[in-house]
Amino acid sequence: MKITKILDSGKLSLSFEVFPPKTDTVFESVKTATERIASLAPAYVSVTYGAGGGTSEYTLDIAKNIKDRYKVPTVAHMTCVSSTKETVRAMAEKLRACGIENVLALRGDIPADKSLVKGDYLHADDLIRELRSVDAEFCIGAACYPEVHPESENSVTDIKYLKQKVDAGVDFLTTQMFFDNPLFYSFLYRIREKGILVPVIPGIMPITNAKQIERAKQLSGSYMPHRFEQLVDKFGNDPLAMKQAGIAYATDPIIDLYANGIKHIHVYSMNNPEVAEKIMSNLSDIIGK
């Protein structure tokens, strides 16, 4: 099923992101975790893609398993930094062969030495155009940053580049994590003013241990509200209390988003079935699960 069909349904939905293993040795444990999340019957599951396509086969395996065994629609991530047209087209063919209709098209992380390994693509919009030329029937998503991409000069420039991605053939957008809903509402207003009219799915990251905070800041430069910092100060040294508090804190903005007319939420599960289960349980009567 295409993600656009879910977004057009008018029903509230909750989806999860999972990531594939990096090596064979942990494949079965990761597969088991992703299956537990899929068994919750979310609206869909997205499966990430390692830098330079390093986990591409695992991405396919996990996405196909979820789709075939649990009948849950899947979105396969694809990055283009360091990729050639041949590798992208080969991956697109594999997606089609697996019956995967949905792709999240991303630039991918710049290598640690800050130089782009030789490839045919520099930006996500290049990949989007390529995928559109390979198969016009792909449902293509892209990423956006409510708080401005860390490499952008400012929000004006950031929205300009986002518009280029959307114009290249994007069907929906998913945001990077944020921890303050007014930032998302403001972002939505500003991009609509600029003619970006595709559906935008907010991405929520439950912070269930204190170590995740620095990683979140590195990924997106996320603003941390004072009340969240207080939560971490109080419970950060108690793993069980921090997990419970983090799940409760993540549930609250999801409910607020639903209450303000946002129908579809994407949760970065970090392959943690317990977190996914408890968030789904917290929302069971709201989304009808």
Residue pLDDT, tens place only, 226-256: 888 888 889 988 999 999 999 999 999 999 9
Q: Name residues whose C-beta falls within 8 Å of residue 221's C-beta, 6 or more positions apart in sequence.
A: 147, 148, 150
Whether the predicted model's global pTM rises above the 0.85 cut: yes
Task: Tell how strand 45-47 and strand 13-18 pair up.
Answer: parallel
The more confidently predicted of residues 220 and 274 is 274
Q: Which of 196, 78, 103, 79 is nearest to 145 (CA)?
A: 196
Give catalytic residues, as residue numbers.
Answer: 17
Q: How many structural domains comprise the chain?
A: 1
What's the rounded mean pLDDT across residues 116-141? Answer: 85
What pLDDT is stored for residue 54 in this prediction?
59
Greatest CA separation for the chain: 52
pLDDT of 153 higher than 90: no
pLDDT(57) > 90: no
- Per mean pLDDT, which range of 3-7, 64-68, 150-154, 165-169 is the poorest? 150-154
What is 41-106 written as a DSSP string? --S-EEE---GGGTTHHHHHHHHHHHHHHH---EEEEEE-TT--HHHHHHHHHHHHHTT--EEEEE
pLDDT for the residue 119: 65
- Please, are residues 125 and 157 in contact by the beta-carbon 8 Å criterion? no
Q: How confident is the model at residue 3 (pLDDT cuts 50, 70, 90)?
A: very high
CATH of the domain at 7: 3.20.20.220
Boundaries of domain holding 17: 3-287
pLDDT at 195 over 70: yes
Average pLDDT over residues 116-140: 85
**Residue 17 near residue 269 (C-beta atoms within 8 A):** yes
Q: Is the pLDDT of residue 109 over 80?
A: no
Asked if the model's pLDDT at residue 68 lies above 80, the reply is yes
| pLDDT over 70 (residue 206) | yes
Say which amino acid occupies 95: L
Over residues 83-98, the pLDDT tens digits come to 788 888 999 999 999 9
What is the C-alpha to C-alpha distance for residues 129 and 204, in angstroms, rounded to an integer? 28
Least-confidence region, from 10-19, 119-128, 203-212, 245-254: 119-128
* Per-residue CA distances from 153 to 38, 147, 150, 177, 182 (Å): 39, 12, 8, 19, 22
Alpha helices in the chain (DSSP H): 3-7, 27-38, 56-70, 85-97, 124-134, 155-167, 181-193, 211-220, 226-235, 239-259, 273-282, 284-287
Give Cα 117 distance to the centre of its chain.
Answer: 24
Average model confidence (pLDDT) for the chain? Answer: 90
Q: Work out the pLDDT band at 108, boundaries 50, 70, 90.
A: confident
Residue position matching structure tokens 């990683």: 215
